[in-house]
Amino acid sequence: MSQSVPSNNDTFINLIELYLSKWKFILFCVLIALGLAFLKVRYSTNLYQANATIKLKEDENSRSLAEISSLQNGMMSSNLPNVTEEIEVIKSRAIITQVARDLKLNFKYYVTGKVKKIETYTNPPVNVDFFMSDSAIETIKKSLFIKIISSQEYELSNVDANKILEFGDPQTTRHSFGERVSKSYGDFTITPNIGTYGSEVGSTLEVSIRPLQDVVSSYLSKIKVATTDKSNVIKLSLQESIKEKARIILDEVIEKYNDDVIKDKEKIVQTTSEFITNRLNVVSNELEQVDFTAEKLQKDNRLTALASQSNIFLESERQTDARINETSNQLQLVEYMSQNLNDTSRETDLLPDIAIGDTEVAQITKTHNELVQRRDNLLKNSSEKNPTVVKLNDQINALKQNLNQSLENIKSANEITLQNLNRQGSRIRGQIYSAPGKERQFRDIKRQQDIKESLYLYLLEKREETAITLGMSTANAKVIDYAYTDSQPVAPKKNVIYLAALLLGLIVPASLIYAKSAMDTKIHSKDDLLRIVKAPFIGDIPRGEGKLKVVKKVDYSPKAEAFRIIRTNIDFMLQSSNKTCKTIFVTSTTAQEGKSHTTTNLASSFSFSEKKTLLIETDIRVPRVNDYLKIKADKGLTDYISDKSINIKDVIVNVEGNEFLDVIPSGTIPPNPAELLMSERVTHLFQEVTQNYDYVIVDSSAVGLVTDTLLISKHADIFVYVVSVNNIDKRQLHIAQTMYEEKRLPNMVTLLNGTVKKKGYGYGYGNNPQRKKKWYDFLRKRRN
């Protein structure tokens, strides 16, 4: 007998017991989940990850002037290439398209196995060669299914390899290897690679041809390129079903990127070479003209002994002439550079790298070419409206303006220097008064000849340097680690899949069981009842087995033992009462909760202890006691109340075979039960019977349906409130709690009817098996 609310330990144990009771369902779900995981692993294609690492090289010749750095907003403050931009170049559609085209990634070869299709790459079982241009092949989208009939013949079909039709069907054709096959999408030949996997007779193959741009789009998302912060090390990764294929693709991407960088560098060298060649032609013509003039002057004036007259030139004149030559050379180069800079008809913005004796101009030229290359790289995957491209254009124009200004400054300075040198030379030549005028004229021509020859030799030297540089351009990327692939696949991850399946197999059924338990509104146990109704609990009655409804005197069934326990608990509850007769009312919330069954068996149990017991059926609307005890009576309680001529003894019926048990049946069902129970005859009845009996057991109406029980509740010493397992809704038990809180039912206790006997438990001391110990028994001991 208890009225304590279940503790947290009880709740936890009940939850564990709930899951243990459904262990077969949980095990079934786990097995299903593991089976699905096995199928997933079995039929999934393994993916292997290839990784490669490269390092962007530093350009030791890249230096920034202070004024240029301010124009570049810090972009040129480092000797390292812009890593973010280089990553975009590596991942550009142009680079991936070259890789896909060179490696023929739009062709895939599969060998159909018993379980799944297996792709081959480096050594496919057959080769398909089309008789058309590459641009046409790159637009085909088709799958060819091939069945090898012999070493010379094969069958070609358009349907799945597992559904290839028999020979003779219009969709299947037979061909010889090497034979030209004509189809709507093009002509091609198929040749075998004897000795490779899948080339055996009877093998079924699939050749999948996809448009090149679709393949490129796929690899643009599959190839991952990343770097760490503030680092010039770039890491590339790719997942493929074939290890070797992934490695080859990554290495090819790096190679194509380096080739692209070398081509960009060679553009500058090529531009410079073309510029020097053009100027050499011009200078050569000018030198030829000066030589011809000198030759004509010597012939006309017979100036053949000029060497003997060399002593008339002073040392100072020679130095002056040398400086005049140098200055004129610089002016000519500045003029050439200005013309090239302002020439709008050029195909490229790149400037020739020609030293004109000024480091600032050389640095500006180099910086200008680097920015032009960076802009051109971005334009491969972008447009002129890209903010970065616009910014780079602004910076290039600013550098051109600076370069123009610097050239103008150099030109002005050299012109002033040249004027001074010419005046100085005139003064020196004036001192040589004895030199013939014709020889002086020849000397002027010789000076022009020396200037042109010096410039010609300088341009020849630069052309040779450019020619050497043309084949010596180096790549940007140094390969730290060539592509390598781990031996274990990265997908599917077997351990993760099996663990997830195991967890899913446990969580799903556990959630369903918990959800079903949470949504269950029925009463199943004592704990469920005590959570809602706080009245004392006197026991539970197990569900009966067979057709036996009423316990016998000699009865060791669980039900009989349960009623003996309840009888003892009731006596304990009423031991403080001084009354010689104990009046026990039995009620419930609704019908069909076993109220009459409990009343009948409780009365029988008291009578078996040789106590005079009277059972009164006050549930006059739906009487059931007569059926349980198998008695017949013409009169009953309603007849006694309505007919004053009838005595109590006239309505008392003794139960056959039990001299200690009497019954007052309900009698004739009246039209007004509530008004009838309000009669004074009811009070008189209880006063009379309590003097002749030890126990009066009253089967009253359900309090949740009618008010009959409340009208006579004052006559009770104790109220036994019956709650049926798996029958009544928990939400209806607020009636019982209200009755208890408001004490409308005197000395109210609760009783649970129809409980299911758990394995290992039992009532009585018969052949019930001893309960096996559970691992969570220590929780019960701790609670007790």
Q: For the residues of 255-296, what is the DSSP string, one character each?
A: HHHHHHHHHHHHHHHHHHHHHHHHHHHHHHHHHHHHHHHHHH
* pLDDT beyond 60 at 730: yes
Cα–Cα distance measured from residue 230 to residue 235, given in angstroms and rounded to the nearest whole number:
14
Rounded CA-CA distance 696/690 in Å is 7
Please tell me the least confidently modeled range out of 96-100, 184-188, 766-770.
Answer: 766-770
What share of the chain has pLDDT > 90, as a percent? 27
Q: Is the per-residue pLDDT at 433 higher than 60?
A: no
The pairing of beta strand 172-176 with beta strand 582-588: unpaired
* Residue 65 scores a pLDDT above 60: no
pLDDT at 779: 46
Q: Which range among 168-177, 731-740, 743-752 shows the weakest confidence by mean pLDDT? A: 168-177
Positive or negative, the CA dihedral 429, 435, 440, 446 is negative
Per DSSP, the residues of 177-216 read TT-EEEETTEEEEEEE-TTSTT-STT-EEEEEE--HHHHH
Ordered alpha helix ranges (H), 342-436 = 359-379, 387-431
Q: Is the dihedral of CA 260, 261, 264, 270 positive or negative?
A: negative
Name the strand (E) or helix (H) holding 783: helix 777-783
Please report the pLDDT score of residue 332 as a whole number.
82
Question: With 70 as the cut, is the pLDDT of residue 386 above it?
Answer: yes
Residue 588: closest CA among 704, 500, 502, 678? 704
pLDDT at residue 321, as a whole number: 78
What is the average per-residue pLDDT within 18-42? Answer: 90
Give the number of C-alpha atoms closer than 13 A to the C-alpha of residue 301, restricted to the C-beta side. 17
- 223-246 mean pLDDT: 87
pLDDT at res. 314: 53
- Give the per-residue pLDDT at 546: 54
Range list of H helices, 611-699: 625-629, 637-642, 648-651, 673-677, 680-689
What does the pLDDT average to over 555-575?
90
Provide CB contacts within 8 A for 401, sequence distance 6+.
Answer: none
Least confident of 14-23, 439-448, 515-524, 760-769: 760-769
State the pairing for strand pair 142-148/153-157: antiparallel
Residue 782, pLDDT above cutoff 90: no
Map residue 532 onto helix, strand or coil. helix
Average predicted confidence (pLDDT) for the chain? 81
* Neighbour tally for 516: CB within 10 Å: 11
pLDDT score, position 761: 41
* 499 Cα distance to chain centroid: 17
Tens of pLDDT, residue by residue over 259-305, are: 888 887 777 777 777 788 887 788 778 777 777 777 776 666 655 55
Phi and psi torsions of 179, nearest 5°: -75, 145
Q: Please tell me the distance from the alpha carbon of residue 537 to that of residue 540, in angstroms, as a whole number.
A: 9
Q: Is the pLDDT of residue 164 over 60?
A: no
- Confidence at 355, pLDDT banded by 50, 70, 90: low
Greatest Cα-to-Cα distance within the chain, rounded to the nearest angstrom: 184
CA atoms lying within 13 Å on the CB side of residue 205: 32
pLDDT at position 83 is 83
pLDDT (mean) for 250-266: 86
Closest to 3 in 3D by CA, of 740, 742, 726: 740
| Cα distance between residue 479 and residue 52, in whole Å | 8
What is the rounded average pLDDT of the residues 11-36? 87
Average pLDDT over residues 563-584: 90
Q: In the predicted model, is pLDDT for residue 143 greater than 80?
A: yes
pLDDT above 70: residue 111 = yes
CB-based contact 632:762 (threshold 8 Å): no
Of 107-116, 382-391, 661-670, 772-781, minimum mean pLDDT range: 772-781
Q: What is the predicted pLDDT for the residue at 35? A: 93
Reduce the DSSP state of residue 22 to 3 states and report it: coil
Q: Note the pLDDT of residue 378.
A: 80
pLDDT of residue 627: 83
The pLDDT, as a whole number, for residue 7 is 59
Of the two residues 695 and 405, the one the predictor is more confident about is: 695
Instruction: Give the pLDDT confidence score for residue 211 in this predicted structure.
Output: 93
Q: Can you give the pLDDT at residue 718?
A: 94
pLDDT computed for residue 565 by the predictor: 93
Please tell me whether residue 355 adopts helix, strand or coil conformation: coil
Give the end-to-end CA distance of the chain in Å, rounded to a whole number.
14
More confidently predicted of 634 and 783 = 634
State the pLDDT at residue 275.
Answer: 80
Long-range contacts of 320-325 (CB under 8 A, 24+ apart): 320/421, 320/424, 320/425, 320/428, 321/425, 321/447, 321/450, 323/417, 323/421, 324/418, 324/421, 324/422, 324/425, 324/447, 324/451, 325/447, 325/450, 325/451, 325/454
What are the tens digits of pLDDT across the range 439-461? 666 677 777 777 877 887 887 77
Distance CA 223, CA 247 (A): 12
Q: Flag whether pLDDT at 34 surpasses 90.
A: yes
What's residue 96's pLDDT?
A: 92
pLDDT digits (tens, 9 = 90+) for 419-428: 888 887 777 6
Least trusted range by pLDDT, from 93-102, 169-178, 603-612, 734-743: 169-178
Confidence of residue 46 (pLDDT cuts 50, 70, 90): confident
Range with lowest mean pLDDT among 91-105, 318-332, 503-517? 318-332
What pLDDT does residue 376 have?
80
Task: Compute φ and ψ for 60, nearest 5 degrees.
Answer: -65, -20
Query: Which residues share a beta bridge with 616?
Result: 664, 698
DSSP lists the bridge partners of residue 236 as 52, 225
Of 194-198, 304-308, 583-587, 606-610, give the lowest mean pLDDT range. Answer: 304-308
